[in-house]
Chains A and B, each alone.
Chain A
Amino acid sequence: MGKMTGAQAILECLKLEGVEIIFGLPGGVLLPLYDAIYDSDIRHIIVRHEQAAAHAADGYARATGRVGVCLATSGPGATNLVTGIATAYMDSVPLVAMTGQVPTTLIGKDAFQEADITGITMPVTKHSYLVKDARDIPRIFREAFYIARTGRPGPVLIDLPRDVTVDELDFHYPDIRLPGYNPNLKVHSLQIKKAAAALMEAERPVLYVGGGVKYSDGHRELLKLAERIKAPVTTTLMGVGCFPEDNPLSLGMLGMHGTKYANYAIQEADLILAVGARFDDRVTGKVASFAPQARIIHVDVDPAEIGKNVRVDIPVVGDAKSALSELAKAVGEKPWSPWNEKVAGWKGEYPLCYATEGESIKPQCVLETLYELCPEAVIVTEVGQNQMWAAQFFTHRDPRRFISSGGLGTMGYGFPAAIGAKMGCPDKEVFDIAGDGSFQMNIQELATAVVNEVAVKVIVLNNGVLGMVRQWQDLFYEKRFSSTTLHRIPDFVKVAEAYGALGLRATEPSQLEGVLLEAIESEVMTVVDVIISPDEKVSPMVPAGASLSEILELEEAVPSREAQRAYAGSSASEILELEG
């Protein structure tokens, strides 16, 4: 391909990897690279803070399944990416993060804007590279993209000293040779046989599925398997959407803020098939009393996850989709059983519910109404109460339409991730379900969205407090609300307008539907300020460290609309009429 500079080679690699968009912010050492970007077809989106570049690339990756790419300059630019990289690492998101670096001759000299970013990010990257020779660029980029998207996906960092982007090289895209990296995708047939036999023998099976099913596109195989053996299915936060929640076999989410019936089913199960999930503490509660009667089959592409947190009876290493597909073939059809009846009984008796008295808008109702108005929406969340309500009260039916920072729990993630998701899926409606605390953490990205005409809809569930922490103070710290009241919340409508976005507000229940409709119909970046009470709680709740059997019900009264639909067999519009 002939001689070119390091910077040109980088863009050539990105093109060969099919990259269509980079989220980044320039800086001194990146001048040669940005000069090459000026001539490139790859779209570059300038963010207003590097953290948002990482989150936007992450949201893009989660929504599309492609590798997200972000770019930041040396020193503070690179360190600003760290939270975003850690977020992607905890949730296994394929990301290539490029950082500028001081020239190789100055590395280690505490040069201006120098930071040892490969060192800083080592614990939160799948792999990382410091490029010391321009001739290594093609090999390193090819390896980086391959490592990021294969096996258990994850972020890979490439640190690019300035001189390396200027030096010339003969471009040749080499084959991948990574003797120490062999992602094990193929499942072992003997283990499948054992797992299938266990599933057939089990009287009270539960399928517990996580993000691995989403990342391997295994949701169809999951549905097939579950329907064949009539096994109830519960998902983790990362797995939300992998199994349609309006299916009678769905138990919704399990764990700390999971449904009562999902947690009861886990505690009573005699067999758990865990697929692409990692037995996180927010899922298991007190791990010693998790699923006490169950044998456990664990399918994971990462062998290190098997046996890490719980003992496993039948390990299956491999890709979730192939494992589910093999299992679906290996099992026979099972009838609707007394276990199914028992689970259905729990679903009827303990639906998700919330109190409806009072004058204020109910956040749960915001999500339910949004589902009824725009069921195909992509829901991105911030972190905290908004995130849990979005997981619980929007009916999720497809993978990659619920995007949330699960493992790291990064406030400020949702809005930039929603921008990335919308840029990856311009034809879908993308909502960021936010709190007033989280939204203020990356509110500057309104500029990015407006300038690039990205019509994300942010719904701020505005209670004026850091709601989830306040909820814990309310329940476990005698209502001593230390530092969780924000005192002055900016006028989000005016903020939106100041940035050139559309600002809308709903203060009472009667305005909600109209305002949401207006937001859905809006073709521009829109912020909807929804005023809710600071005393709203996420319910049910298993206190941290407690067993999944010890569930606190914090809100009683009216079952969720999804529960009403499931049991009355009535359509959404009928329920609206009943209430109206």
Chain B
Amino acid sequence: MLHTIVLIVENRPGVLVRIAGLFSRRGFNIDSLTVGATDNPDYSRMTITVEGDEVVLEQVTKQLNKLVNVIRVSEMDPKESVDRELAIIKVAAKKEDRSEIMQIVSVFRAKIIDVSPRSLIIEVTGTNDKVEAMVRLLRQFGIKEMARTGKVSMVRGTKAVGP
């Protein structure tokens, strides 16, 4: 089972290595990991999706909490949180395929952000499932390159995960 964990960490050199090292050392599987700034320059925010059962999740959470540079660890309840991922996809676009591709883009409320004679770059934002679905549909035209940010997640309502 996939779990989503949000971390608030000190914005210091080596923090990412400590977290990545912990996962590899203890044999936990990272599915995706994103890092970015928060409103406070002293802290960064990470969203990690990790594969495993409840026992693994508990160990991951406890071990992360032991790292001195980790300020907060929270597991995201999928029902109580929203999450998004952004992907940019370079897809082969022959003349005869273009209109169909553009239809798909429109259905997914995605955007075309670069056009060239033989390819398009498409930007899509949404849940993992939505991005997956779009990727599946685009595969028939030939995906030349794809970059995904991995998931970021936030609790619904006024509750906040902060330092």
Contacts and interface: CB of A to CB of B under 8 A. Distances in A.
Interface of A: 118-119, 122-123, 126-127, 130, 147, 178-181, 302-304, 307-308
B17 A122 contact: yes
Given A179-B71, A304-B59, A308-B59, A122 B21 contact: yes
Nearest to B72: A180
* Most chain A CB neighbours (cut-off 10 Å) among B17, B66, B70, B71: B66
A307 B58 contact: yes
Contact of B18 (A122, A147, A304): A122
Interface in B51-93: 55, 58-59, 62-63, 65-71
Contact of B68 (A147, A302, A304): A147
B136 interface: no
Given A127-B68, A178-B68, A180-B70, A304 B21 contact: no
A308 B21 CA distance: 18
Contacts of B67: 180
* Most chain B CB neighbours (cut-off 10 Å) among A118, A126, A303, A304: A304
A118 B58 contact: no
B62 A180 contact: no
B25 interface: yes
B17 A180 contact: no
Contact of B17 (A119, A126, A307, A308): A119
Contacts of B21: 122-123
Nearest to B163: A179
Contacts of B71: 179-180
Contacts of B58: 307
Given A122-B21, A123-B25, A308-B59, A303 B68 contact: no
Contact of A304 (B13, B55, B62): B62
Given A122-B18, A130-B14, A180-B9, 5 more contacts: A119-B17, A127-B68, A147-B68, A179-B10, A180-B68
A180 B68 CA distance: 5
Contacts, number: 36
A476 B68 CA distance: 44
A304 B56 CA distance: 11
Interface in B6-56: 9-10, 13-14, 17-18, 21, 25, 55
Contacts of A307: 55, 58-59
A73 B86 CA distance: 47
Q: Which 9 A-B pairs have the closest CB atoms?
A: A304-B62, A180-B71, A127-B68, A181-B68, A180-B70, A303-B62, A179-B71, A304-B63, A123-B25
A558 B87 CA distance: 75
A479 to B, nearest CB: 36
Contact of B14 (A118, A178, A302, A304): A118
A107 to B, nearest CB: 11
Contacts of B55: 307
Contact of B10 (A118, A130, A180): A180
* Most chain B CB neighbours (cut-off 10 Å) among A119, A126, A178, A180: A180
Nearest to B71: A180
Interface string B148-163: 0000000000000001
Nearest to B18: A122
B75 to A, nearest CB: 15
Contacts of B68: 126-127, 147, 178, 180-181
A178 B25 CA distance: 25
Contacts of B163: 179
Contacts of A302: 66
Contacts of B10: 179-180
B72 to A, nearest CB: 8
B67 to A, nearest CB: 7
A178 B9 CA distance: 12
A118 to B, nearest CB: 7
B65 A303 contact: yes
